[in-house]
């Protein structure tokens, strides 16, 4: 993973929100992430593509749905930094609540 791509990927608020949700909640379907962030599916997919290109997440297809989870080589230190800083944010709390109650798929 190139350092510049890594910072570019996590430097955008929507991508940081997506990464944080996946890091704390495990594998997630695009439909659930769309509901959690209250953004259009096309926007979520575009941002997930950037995270995937940076090597932070990987995707698998199940029927018509795409599921994303953290890439195997994401450092535990990065996950810890995200969990310590962003997960106490009010926006993350709202995203997590919406994710846990999503029923879109």
**What's domain 3-99's architecture?**
Orthogonal Bundle (1.10)
* pLDDT higher than 70, residue 22: yes
Neighbours of 17 (CB within 10 A): 22
pLDDT of residue 89: 82
pLDDT of residue 104: 64
Residues 33-90: pLDDT tens digits? 999 999 999 999 999 999 999 999 999 999 999 999 999 988 888 888 887 877 778 8
Q: Per-residue b/e over 37-52, b at no fewer than 16 CB within 10 Å? A: bebeeeebeebbebbb
* pLDDT higher than 90, residue 8: no
Could you tell me which residue, 105 or 15, shows the higher pLDDT? Answer: 15
Q: What's the whole-model pTM score? A: 0.89
């Amino acid at each position: 993973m190139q350092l510049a791509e890594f910072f570019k990927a996590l430097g955008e608020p929507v991508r940081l929100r997506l990464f944080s949700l996946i890091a704390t909640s495990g594998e997630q379907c695009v439909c659930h992430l769309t509901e959690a962030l209250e953004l259009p599916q096309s926007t979520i997919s575009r941002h997930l593509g950037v995270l995937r290109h940076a090597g932070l997440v990987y995707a698998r297809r199940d029927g018509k749905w795409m599921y994303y989870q953290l890439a195997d080589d994401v450092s535990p230190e990065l996950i810890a930094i995200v969990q310590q800083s962003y997960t106490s944010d009010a926006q993350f709390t709202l995203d997590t609540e919406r994710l846990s109650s999503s029923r879109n798929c």
